Amino acid sequence: MELITRMRRLRENKILREMVSESDVKLKSLIQPLFIDESIDKRIRIESMPGIDRISISEAVKEAESIRKAGISSILLFGIPAHKDELAGSAWNDEGVIQRSVKLLKKETDMLIISDLCMCEYTSHGHCGVIKNSAILNDETLAIYQKIALSYARSGVDMIAPSGMMDGQVKAIRESLDDNGFKNIPIMAYSAKYESSLYAPFREAAESAPAFGDRSGYQMNYHNAKEALREVELDIKEGADIVMVKPALFYLDIIKMVKERFNVPVAAYNVSGEYSLVKAAAINGWIDEKRMINELLTSIKRAGADLIITYFAKQFAEMHIEQ
Ligand code: PBG
Ligand code: ZN
């Protein structure tokens, strides 16, 4: 008689179940994004992202401290400037919103501070690069990314994360950092960033929706997987220290492929729309929010992400303190 293979033996006892669990989400690998708005002094709720606010520069320190207290040690900053123009001038102003925030945060906290680097929050047209006759010019944009990177570096940022999907952006930024005495600032590259419907709540939060057209001329087409591997390969050659796949949940296959093929740390961005979907269902009582947060972050980890950028970071950390 054939023996039944008793898979359930390792499932029945909770301690044993946990002992043989293959992937766990560590608090140390989570990064909490923050939206810092230069022109406000009170928090402003982001309607499409319940639980996430736009905060002022002075409040950023308090917010960072409470995230730190929950057990999260890194934040990713997005700035919303008071003035926008064609060339994102406020992004490379040494007194800009990110620069002032980074200086304060580095002085007052011991967190790892990462700055997203793009133009779309700073341009009047909402695109991620320099525009001429409705075209986004790649190489002219690189020169501006270099200026922004240097200004962020001067403010004392710990890591830079270029998200504009211009060709050669990692190389351009790496070179200008190296040439100006910032050899040790790592670059976390948004390597495989897809043109996704899931960024809509972010664009409300950062007031960065494109005024015309969309981003399909520079962000990746979601029908493609091999192209993501080329993007990652190029970014590593150009000097990326960490590569990123974004979004995360609809792109777990990409995370897995990247993790299997390359030997650099892989980050996954669990984006605004992924957050909002969960929150909307939770508010309606349709799902168990805590169970879903655990399951979704674990799935990103299981796919192979070393780091996860997620709006759930602080909430997840607080859930774990409660346990
Ligand atoms: C800027 C940027 C975006 C996100 C991160 N950096 C928006 C976009 O590309 O329109 C999206 C993050 C999110 O949805 O949470 N280029
Ligand atoms: Zn952008």
Longest dimension (CA), the chain: 78
Residue 14 belongs to a domain: no
The mean per-residue pLDDT over the stretch 228-257 comes to 98
Rounded distance from Cα 123 to ligand 2 centre (Å): 9
- 246 in active site: yes
What pLDDT band is residue 1 in, cutting at 50, 70 and 90? Answer: confident
CB of 276 shorter than 6 A to ligand 1: no
Residue 4 belongs to a domain: no
- Each residue's pLDDT tens digit, 13-26: 999 999 999 999 99
Which of 179, 192, 243 has the alpha carbon at shortest distance from 220? 192
- pLDDT for 322: 57
- pLDDT for 2: 87
- DSSP-based three-state secondary structure for 24: coil
Cross-strand partners of 54: 35, 44
Residue 19 belongs to a domain: no
CA dist., res. 27 & res. 67, Å (int): 11
CA dist., res. 140 & res. 193, Å (int): 21
> Which CATH number is 98's domain given?
3.20.20.70
CA dist., res. 144 & res. 169, Å (int): 10
Rounded to 5 degrees, what are φ and ψ at 214? -140, -170
Query: Active site residue: 193, 259, 279, 314, which one?
Result: 193
Domain count, the chain: 1
- Each residue's pLDDT tens digit, 178-192: 999 999 999 999 999
The mean per-residue pLDDT over the stretch 73-101 comes to 98
Residue 5 belongs to a domain: no
Structure tokens at 317: 């950390």
- 147 in active site: no
Element (H or E) spanning 89, and its range?
none
CB-neighbour burial class of residue 170 (10 A; exposed 0-12, middle 13-18, buried 19+): buried
Residue 141 belongs to a domain: yes
The mean per-residue pLDDT over the stretch 217-231 comes to 98
| CA distance to 85, 105, 226, 292, per residue, from 98 (Å) | 17, 10, 35, 33
CB of 238 shorter than 6 A to ligand 1: no
- Each residue's pLDDT tens digit, 123-182: 999 999 999 998 999 999 999 999 999 999 999 999 999 999 999 999 999 999 999 999
CA dist., res. 149 & res. 204, Å (int): 25
Residue 80 belongs to a domain: yes
* Pairing outcome for strands 188-193 and 242-246: parallel
CB of 199 shorter than 6 A to ligand 1: yes
Report the 10 Å Cβ neighbour count for 216. Answer: 11
Taking a C-beta distance cutoff of 8 angstroms, is the pair 109, 63 a contact? no
User: For the chain, what is the mean pLDDT?
Assistant: 97
- Tokens 């809509």 identify what position? 200
CB of 210 shorter than 6 A to ligand 1: no
CA dist., res. 261 & res. 307, Å (int): 17
Burial 252-281 (b: 16+ CB within 10 A, else e): bebbbbbbeebebbbbbbbbbbbbbbbbee
Report the 10 Å Cβ neighbour count for 302. Answer: 15
**Residue-number span of the structural domain to which 173 is assigned:** 25-322
- Each residue's pLDDT tens digit, 35-64: 999 999 999 999 999 999 999 999 999 999
Residue 12 belongs to a domain: no
Residue 258 belongs to a domain: yes
Q: Helices 252-261 and 289-303 meet at what angle, rounded to 10? A: 30
Rounded distance from Cα 227 to ligand 2 centre (Å): 20
CA dist., res. 303 & res. 284, Å (int): 29
CA-nearest residue for atom 9, ligand 1, is: 199
- pLDDT for 318: 97
- pLDDT for 321: 66
What pLDDT band is residue 248 in, cutting at 50, 70 and 90? Answer: very high
The mean per-residue pLDDT over the stretch 204-229 comes to 94
Q: What percent of the chain has pLDDT over 70?
A: 99
